Structure 1
């Protein structure tokens, strides 16, 4: 019964890890990490820009463009990307990989637990490694969020190509809703890592020979 209860706790931990990993992947693809407001420009573009980790999207409701919204993707090779975005890209990619690896190790540990193949040197090591990977992934996501936060607070500019029709510096900028999704992903990863600390190998009854009892 003790093993079943602990197995259920670890199953909940796995669900939290899965949810945190999904939120991490979704936040990587969304563009609204930073919201740039372009209001006082004497010529187009007017409107706003959503700056993400892998793409930037512009919205011009009153502009002359044929499409009110346009998105531009960028990669590592783009020289105009600032250091904070490049660092966040690497951190989020590493967090997604570590989260995926942690889930794999936890699945192996849960399988051993539910099939009765508990071994101190293997199963506990699987959960310990999975826990450390989750904590590391949550820390990486948190650092990426902090990089984005300081860039917004300091009103840092980005030299986008002229074809993007985005000014060097907006009139004002603020954090977008994707940041809160990334914060939730980091909290789930960190909580998952701390939650699995409660797992311990149940003590085994020592084999006492009749002679030692005399």
Structure 2
């Protein structure tokens, strides 16, 4: 016995994975550890390590009034390399696109598990959700890989004097934010592929449905109506959920 709701179990997992990836992507934006700069002079940066993110730079110091010192990085700052303002824009776009993707995916899964009688737009909604998931993963993956390449090539940043950072560190390390963000991007791409590979139920189950119940608009299931005591004064008092109509004819 096959039901319409049974055709979207993988897509339900894709929705959960996409929502989790979206949460991690938002966390990636706020994490400062995109780049770890190891500085030679520890007279001010006493920890010897500075955290360079896409929104601010932070380090610990016992020589300054505050233990943790942070300086904001604006998209209009001319000293930052191109990959940082690009990351600011693309990561924000990824969060917005991911939100729309989650909403579309939730609507698509709801149409399957709590289906309406007219199911003509199910495939379209699944394709829309999958496309948005793929777009979200791409928008976040591009700046993450770009900044990781800058770290691996030991690119320099000409910080202003009030940042207390040298133009070039002794060495750089890829921060945890990049690793977490790449994981979220891959998870988002997987979710998109799961939604794009959804097969519309009437095509999937066409060979198992009786000939007289194959309907390309409403699926290959018969609609059973309530009988007996459920019919009162000519009004149907109980109609089954269309998502749970089988291809079997009683």
Same fold (TM over 0.5): yes
Q: Supply the distance in 1 between the matched residues of 2:174 and 2:24 (Cα, whole angstroms).
A: 17
Question: Secondary structure, in 3 states, of the residue corresponding to 1:117?
Answer: coil
Please state how far the C-alpha of 1:26 moved relative to its aligned partner: 0.1
Q: Name the SS for the 1:200 alignment partner.
A: coil
Q: State the match for 1:51 in structure 2.
A: 52
The equivalent residue for 2:85 is 86
Q: Any conservation in 2 of the 1:120–1:201 contact (CA below 8 Å)?
A: no
Change (3 A) 1:72 1:118: farther
Larger Rg: 2
Output the CA distance in 1 between the equivalents of 2:60 and 2:20: 31
Does the 8 Å contact 1:112/1:118 carry over to 2? Answer: no
Give matches, 1:108-123, under 5 Å.
108-117=107-116, 119=118, 121-123=120-122
TM superposition score normalised by structure 1: 0.87
State the alpha-carbon separation in 1 of the partners of residues 96 and 107 from structure 2.
Answer: 17
Q: In 2 relative to 1, CA 24–42 (structure 1 residues): closer, same or farther, beyond 3 Å?
A: closer
RMSD (Å), alpha carbons: 1.9
Deviation of the 1:194 alpha carbon: 1.0
User: What is the DSSP-based 3-state SS (H/G/I as helix, E as strand, rest coil) of the residue aligned with 2:57?
Assistant: strand
State how far apart, in whole Å, the 1-side matches of 2:26 and 2:106 are.
20
Map residues 1-214 of structure 1 onto 2, 5 A cutoff.
Answer: 1-39=2-40, 41=41, 43-46=43-46, 47-60=48-61, 63-117=62-116, 119=118, 121-203=120-202, 205-206=213-214
Q: Normalized against structure 2, the TM-score is what? A: 0.75
